[in-house]
Amino acid sequence: MKKVIILGATSAIAQATVRLLAARGASLYLVGRNAENLEAVARDAATRGAPKVEFRALDLNDCDAHASLVERAWQALGGLDGAVLAHGVLGDQDASQRSWAAAEVVLRTNFLSAASLLTELANRFEAQKAGTLVVISSVAGDRGRQSNYVYGASKGALTVFLQGLRNRLAKSGVAVVTVKPGFVDTPMTAHVPKNKLFATPEQVAKGLLRAADGRKNEVYVPGFWALIMLIIRSIPEPVFKRMKL
Amino acid sequence: MSPSDSWGRFPRVEQRTRSLVWRSDALPKVDGPVLPHGLGRSYGDSCLNAGGTLLLTPGLDRLIDFDAATGVVRCEAGVSLDTLLRLCVPRGWFLPVTPGTKFVTVGGAIANDVHGKNHHRAGTFGRHVRRFELLRSDGSRRMCAPDENPDWFGATIGGLGLTGLITWAEVQLAPIRNPFVMQETVPFDNLDGFLRVSAESEADHDFTMSWVDCLARGKKLGRGLFYRGNFAPSQFERLPLAKSHLSHGTGLAVPMDLPGFCLNRLSVSAFNFLYYHRQRGRPSRQLVHYDPFFYPLDSVYGWNRIYGSRGFLQFQCVVPHATARDALKELLERSARGGLPSFLSVLKTFGDLPSPGWMSFPRPGFTLALDFANRGEKTWRLVEELDRVTREAGGAVYPAKDARMSPESFAAYFPQRDRFAAYIDPAFSSSFWRRVNPVSLPMPSLEGRGDSAVPPASLLALR
Ligand SMILES: Cc1cc2nc3c(=O)[nH]c(=O)nc-3n(C[C@H](O)[C@H](O)[C@H](O)COP(=O)(O)OP(=O)(O)OC[C@H]3O[C@@H](n4cnc5c(N)ncnc54)[C@H](O)[C@@H]3O)c2cc1C
Ligand SMILES: NC(=O)c1ccc[n+]([C@@H]2O[C@H](COP(=O)([O-])OP(=O)(O)OC[C@H]3O[C@@H](n4cnc5c(N)ncnc54)[C@H](OP(=O)(O)O)[C@@H]3O)[C@@H](O)[C@H]2O)c1
C-alpha cells in the first residue's frame, strides 16, 4: 500500500496506522469529520516521512458525497492502491433500544456508509485489478448480545458484506481484509474500566498492517480473540439467550 | 506505570486521571484541581495530585513540523524525547539538552526545566525552547516566547505544571555529524580530585558527569569516576546516521518488585567497589553510541522496581562554589553514615548560563544526586537533614526529585516564588505545591490576583 485513503483518519487506531504507513513512505489521503484534528494528523504524518498527505473534512454518513470523495482522492494521489476504513461509533445500547433514531446512526455509520464507500472503491480496484481494502469490523459482530447488539449488528453486517466482496474480488487480485479487534484503549472506550484484555491502538495498527501485507482474509487482533470468539460462537442459542452478556 | 505514584514510587496517593487527545480541545471540566502529567519520570510528588485529577498528556504526541535545514522542531507537548531522537538523529540533529532518560515528554522537560551533562555549555532545556502554547482553565490560549508574553514564558519554564497546560512547543535542536560520543573516563581519589578534574575538563568537553563511590570514607571520601565526552570528531563522520537508534524495545526489564533484601548494605558496597575498581585507576577513552552514553539506565526498563514496592527517595541539590567543598563533604558523609547508602550517586558542575525560567532549579555550583531505598522514618529524616545542610550552604533542592523539602527550604531556594504564584492557574495544583505551601505560610500574591482563586483552606483539605 503506497497510495492509501484512510476513512475515519482521526480514530485512534487509524492514527496509529497512519504513522506506520508514513514511516514506510506511503502517500495518504485522510478523511474525517473534524478539519482541525485532521490537519494535526496530516502534519504528524508528513513530519514522520509521508511524501504526500492531503485531507478532507466530511461527514461520512453523507453517502451521496462518496463518489466525488473517492474521485478527489484518486486525483490527489494519482490513483489508489489501498484503503483503510476505520470510522465508527459505539453508540449507546440503552439509547438505541429506546429510540430508533439512535440505533439508525450506529447502523448508518458502521454499516451503510462503509458499504457505500466499499462499493465505490471496490469497483475502481476491480477495474485496475489491484489494491487492498482493509476494513475494521469488530469481535462484537460475531454474535449478538443484549449489551450491544445494535453495534454488533452493524459490524456483523459489515463482516458479511466483506465476505461477499472478497468472494467477488478474489479473481481480480484485490485483497479484502477484515480486521476484528477486541477491546482497544481508545476514546471510543474511554468510559470503560480497563483490564488485561485491552490492546493499545499501536498493537492493533501493527496487526492490521501485518494482515494487509499478508493479504489475509479475516484476522482477530490481538490473535487470542479468535479463541475467545470461537467459544462464544459455539455456545448453543438456548443456553446463550439466558446468559448475561 | 500505575498512575498512583511517581518514578520513585513514593509517595502513593489517590487521584483520578483523564487522558487528553487533541491539542485543540478545551481542558476537561472536573471537580478539584488538575495537574498535567507526562511520562511520570519525576520522583517524589511534583507530578502527583492527591485528591485531584491528572491530565495525562502522552496522547498529545503528534509532530507538527521539523525543518532539517535549521533543526527547529515543533510538536505536541506529550511527544517524548525518545520520539524526537528517532526523528532528528538520522537527519543530523540532537537534543540541545537531555536528562538521563529519554522517556520524558517535551512538556515535562519544560515544566521542570531539565538539565543534562552539558549544563556548563548549554544551560537548561528552557534556553532552547523557542515558543509554546499555554492553555488555561479559562479557555484562553497564549503564545509564549522570549518576545511574546515573556512573563508567561518565564513562569511556565520550570513552572512545575502549575501555570496551565502546554499544548505544543517549538525547540531548537543541536547539529551533530554522527551518533557517537568519544568518552573518556578519569578516576579521581577524593573530593579535591573531583574538583580538579572538573575544572580541567569543562573547557574542552561538552558533556561531563561523575559517579561517586558513596561508601568511601576518610581520605577517600568523594572518590569516583569522571566521565567527559564530545560527539565524535570528523574522522567518524562516515559512520551511518541512519541506523543510529540503538536500544529500543531490547535490553532487560525488571518485571516485578524485587524483595527488599536484594538491596542491602552489602550489595550496595559490592556494586560501588566493583564499579570503581573496574576502571583500575587509569583514564581510558572509548567511542560509544549516544544511547548508552546519555541513557545508561534506559536499557533496564522499569529499573525503579529494584527498590521493591516501598520505592525510593531521590535527593538532588546544588551548592554554590563558595561553600561547595565543605557542603559536599558533609552531604556525602551524612549519606554514607545514614544507614542505607545511596546506590547511584552523581556529581556534576552547573555553569552560569541563566535560564529564562523563574523557578528553574539549576544555578552555578555543583550538583549532587543521591538515591535511597525507602526505609520509612529513618530515610525521610536523612533526606530532611540533607535538605537542611543544602539550605545552610546557600544551595537549592530539585523539586522534580523531592519528597521531603520543608516549606521554609522551598521559600529559601526559590526567591521568585511569590511572583510565580500569581501566574498559577486557579484550577491547577499538585501534591508538591500544597506540601511546600501550607496555609500557615502567608501567600500575599494569592489575594492580589483578583481572579477566582481556590481558597487555600480547600487546597489543604485535598492533600
Ligand atoms: C532515570 C532518570 C534520570 C533523570 N535524569 C535527569 C537529569 O539528568 N536532569 C534532569 O533535569 N532531570 C532528570 N530526571 C527527571 C526528569 O527529567 C524530570 O522529572 C522530567 O520533568 C520528567 O518528565 P515527564 O514527561 O515524565 O513529566 P512528569 O514527571 O509526568 O511531570 C513533570 C512535571 O511536568 C509537568 N508537565 C508535564 N507535561 C506538561 C504539559 N504538557 N504542560 C504543563 N506541564 C506539564 C507536570 O505537571 C509535572 O509538574 C531524570 C529522571 C529519571 C527517571
Ligand atoms: N475501541 C475498541 O475497543 C474497538 C473494538 C473493535 C472495533 N473497533 C472499531 O475500530 C474503529 C476505530 O475506532 P477507535 O477505537 O479508533 O475509536 P475512535 O478513536 O473513537 O474513532 C472513531 C472515529 O470514527 C469517526 N467517525 C464517527 N462517525 C463518523 C462520521 N459520520 N463521519 C466521519 N467520521 C466518523 C470519529 O470521528 P470524530 O473524531 O469526528 O468523532 C472517530 O475519529 C471503529 O470502526 C470501531 O468500531 C474499536
Give me the sign of the Cα torsion angle A37, A40, A42, A45.
Answer: negative
**What is the chain A residue with the closest CA to B17?**
A190
CA diameter of chain A: 55
Cα–Cα distance, A245 to A50 (Å, whole number): 43
Lining residues, ligand 1, CB within 6 Å: B 7, 35-42, 46-47, 57, 77, 99-101, 104-105, 107-109, 111-112, 114-116, 160-161, 165-166, 297, 400
**Residue nearest atom 6 in ligand 1 by C-alpha distance:** B99
Q: What are the cell numbers at B338?
A: 545514614
Tell which one of A139, A186, A204 to mutate to probe ligand 2, the residue whose CB is within 8 A of the most ligand atoms: A186
What's the whole-number average pLDDT of chain B?
86
Whether the per-residue pLDDT at B218 is higher than 70: the answer is yes
Of all residues in chain A, the one with the smallest CA distance to B73 is: A47
Nearest by CB: B62 against A36, A40, A190:
A40
pLDDT, tens digit, 9 for 90 and up, residues B77-98: 999 999 999 999 999 999 999 9
- ipTM score assigned to the predicted complex: 0.94
User: Which atom from ligand 2 is nearest to the alpha carbon of A87?
Assistant: 24
Question: From 1.20.1050.10, 3.40.50.9100, 3.30.429.10, 3.40.50.720, which CATH number describes the A3-240 domain?
Answer: 3.40.50.720
Question: In the predicted model, is pLDDT for residue B321 greater than 80?
Answer: yes
A189 touches chain B (CB under 8 A): no
pLDDT in tens, chain A (245 residues): 999 999 999 999 999 999 999 999 999 999 999 999 999 999 999 999 999 999 999 999 999 999 999 999 999 999 999 999 999 999 999 999 999 999 999 999 999 999 999 999 999 999 999 999 999 999 999 999 999 999 999 999 999 999 999 999 999 999 999 999 999 999 999 999 999 999 999 999 999 999 999 999 999 999 999 999 999 999 999 999 999 88
Ligand closest to Cα of B111 equals: 1
Mutate to test the interface with B, among A11, A34, A48, A189 (most CBs of B within 10 A): A48
Is A44 in contact with B64 (Cβ distance < 8 A)? Answer: yes
Residue B265 has pLDDT above 60, yes or no: no
* Interface contact A44, partner B, CB < 8 A: yes
pLDDT one-digit tens code per residue, B21-50: 999 999 999 999 999 999 999 998 999 999
Contacts of B56 in chain A (CB under 8 A): none
Domain borders along chain B are 180-406
Nearest CA distance, A230 vs chain B (angstrom): 32
- A190–B19: do the CB atoms touch at under 8 Å? yes
Q: Give the CATH number of domain B180-406.
A: 3.30.70.2520
Ligand 2 within 6 A of A154 CB? no
- Ligand sitting nearest the alpha carbon of B300: 1
**Residue A42: closest CA among chain B residues belongs to which residue?**
B64
| pLDDT for B234 beyond 80 | no
Could you write out the three-class secondary structure of chain B?
Answer: CCCCECCCCCCECCCEEEECCCCCCCCCCCCCCEEEECCCCCCCCCCCCCCCEEEECCCCCCEEEEECCCCEEEEECCCEHHHHHHHHHHHCEECCCCCCCCCCEHHHHHHCCCCCCCHHHHCCHHHHEEEEEEECCCCCEEEEECCECHHHHHHHCCCCCCCCEEEEEEEECEECCCCEEEEEEEEECCHHHHHHHHHHHCCCCCEEEEEECCCCCHHHCCCEEEEEEEECCHHHCCCCCCCCCCCCCCCEECCCCCCHHHCCHHHHHHHHHHHHHHCCCCCEEEEEEHHHHHCHHHHEECHHHHHCCCCEEEEEEEECHHHHHHHHHHHHHHHHHCCCCCCCCEEEEECCCCCCCCCCCCCCEEEEEEEEECCCHHHHHHHHHHHHHHHHCCCEECHHHCCCCCHHHHHHHCCCHHHHHCCCCCCECCHHHHHHCCCCCCCHHHHHCCCCCCCHHHHHHCC
Three-state SS sequence of chain A = CCEEEEECCCCHHHHHHHHHHHHCCCEEEEEECCHHHHHHHHHHHHHCCCCCEEEEECCCCCHHHHHHHHHHHHHHHCCCCEEEECCCCCCCHHHHHHCHHHHHHHHHHHHHHHHHHHHHHHHHHHHHCCCEEEEECCHHHHCCCCCCHHHHHHHHHHHHHHHHHHHHHHHHCCEEEEEEECCECCHHHCCCCCCCCCECHHHHHHHHHHHHHCCCCEEEECCCHHHHHHHHHHCCHHHHCCCCC
**How remote is the CA of residue B105 from the centroid of ligand 1, in Å?**
7
Residues of chain B neighbouring A187 (CB-CB closer than 8 A)? 21
Nearest CA in chain A to B79: A44
Q: What is the pTM of this model?
A: 0.92
Instruction: With beta carbons under 8 A apart, name residues in chain B contacting A190.
Output: 19
Looking at the complex, report in whole angstroms how far the Cα of residue B346 sits from the nearest Cα belonging to chain A.
Answer: 36
Q: How far off is chain B from A203, nearest CA to CA, in Å?
A: 14
Contact B63 A47 (CB under 8 A): yes
List CB contacts (< 8 A) between A12 and chain B: 21
pLDDT in tens, B266-282: 566 666 666 666 665 66
Q: Do B105 and B78 touch, CB atoms closer than 8 A?
A: yes
Annotated catalytic residues of A are 151
Which ligand 1 atom sits closest to the C-alpha of B165?
Answer: 42
Q: Tens digit of pLDDT for each residue in B376-390? A: 888 899 999 999 999
Kindly state if the Cβ of A208 falls inside 6 Å of ligand 2. Answer: no
The answer to whether A47 contacts B66, with C-beta atoms less than 8 Å apart, is: yes
